[in-house]
Amino acid sequence: MNDITQPIYTLEALGFKPFWAEQQKEGYGSGRIALEHKHMYRIYSEDGEWLGELSGKFRHEAAVREDYPAVGDWVWMTKLPGENKAIIHGVYPRLSKFSRKAAGNTVEEQIVATNIDRVFLVMALNLDFNVRRLERYLLIAYESGAQPEIVLTKKDLCGDVASRIAEVEAIAFGVPVHAVNSLTDDGVEPIVQSLAAGETIALLGSSGAGKSTLLNRLYGEERQRTGGVREGDDRGKHTTTHRELVVLPGGALVIDTPGMRELQLWEGSDAMSTAFADIDELALRCRFADCSHDSEPGCAIQAALADGTLQANRYASFLKLQREAAYAKRRTDAAAARVEKERWKKIHKQQRERGNR
């Protein structure tokens, strides 16, 4: 965090949109969070890179993880020119947000990346290939507000790429699918040509899926360290250890993320009908509007399962994610109520202290 260089950007080149321009505050500069480590931040701004920390007021008022800056966020800040340091006073409203439940038993949100235009869901075509996991990634990508695309890596390790692509297209309706071998640039050029200056892309996928190798190809040089394939399970070695915003030579911005072995839903998803549009459409054809899709006569879903139009494992995945989303919503609603109660207790305490003074 101490190696602060001084490239010069414009805010627009860093992805600043009119939505945020309308919310600039007089007396404060604007910058974008590129890296976060224990509430210390590397910030990109129009006059270089700054090492940022939170103001005392910000720290006092932040109640949950969501309140703190995340990689991709735009922040209001005061710059301390002689030190290349800045004080962060607030976070601009987010246009998109990719979140998951934090690992462990705590009911807490972990923001993976914010203000993303496109999400590249990266999955290897070797033994790491898992359509059910991809359904989960798609659901959360739709929920984020960004546009998903699927990048299937390590095509050289797959004996039948076409059938794998067909499996993915069967569950990702209308989502662009790319098959690449990043080591030889096979299939990478169409992705490079699609990148636009100022847009932000997040790379998301499991450990060893090939995100860092793909980023190196997009960047045009070995920017990120990569690992080979582990012996025994045909999976790549995990190399990325933190989230970071990278400006590509062509002007697009990429947020590389560590591989996620666990991807639990953070809140009840409103995107189920998008991620599982085929099941949603079948449900509309049921004879009864309140059909439970179990044993009712005229159930279109049961008919589709019987004739093979709908695969049983896809429907089972849908039911599992539906139950998980409902459970997540109940837990987050309860957690939000506790946070709000604590927030008001803090406000009332401050009011009493002012009254006593």
Binding residues: 153-156, 205-213, 286, 291, 293, 299
- Residue 283 tokens read as 């449900």
Binding residue numbers for GTP: 153-156, 205-213
Please give the Cα distance from 292 to 24 (Å, whole number): 50
Please give the Cα distance from 326 to 136 (Å, whole number): 15
- HSE (side-chain half, CA atoms, 13 Å) at 152: 27
Please give the Cα distance from 40 to 48 (Å, whole number): 17
Which residues are CB-contacts of 49 (< 8 A; sequence separation ≥ 6)? 4, 5, 6, 7, 34, 42, 43, 84
Q: Using the structure block, give the residue that is written with the tokens 């224990």.
A: 38
∠ CA 285-288-294, rounded to 5°: 90
Binding residue numbers for Zn(2+): 286, 291, 293, 299
End-to-end CA distance of the chain: 42
Q: Reduced to 3 DSSP states, what percent helix, strand and coil does the chain have, rounded to the nearest 5?
A: 35, 25, 45
Please give the Cα distance from 198 to 220 (Å, whole number): 18
Per the CB < 8 A criterion, the answer to whether 121 and 151 are in contact is: yes
Please give the Cα distance from 142 to 138 (Å, whole number): 6
The residue type of 180 is V
Q: Using the structure block, give the residue that is written with the tokens 């990148």.
A: 195
Per the CB < 8 A criterion, the answer to whether 191 and 178 are in contact is: yes
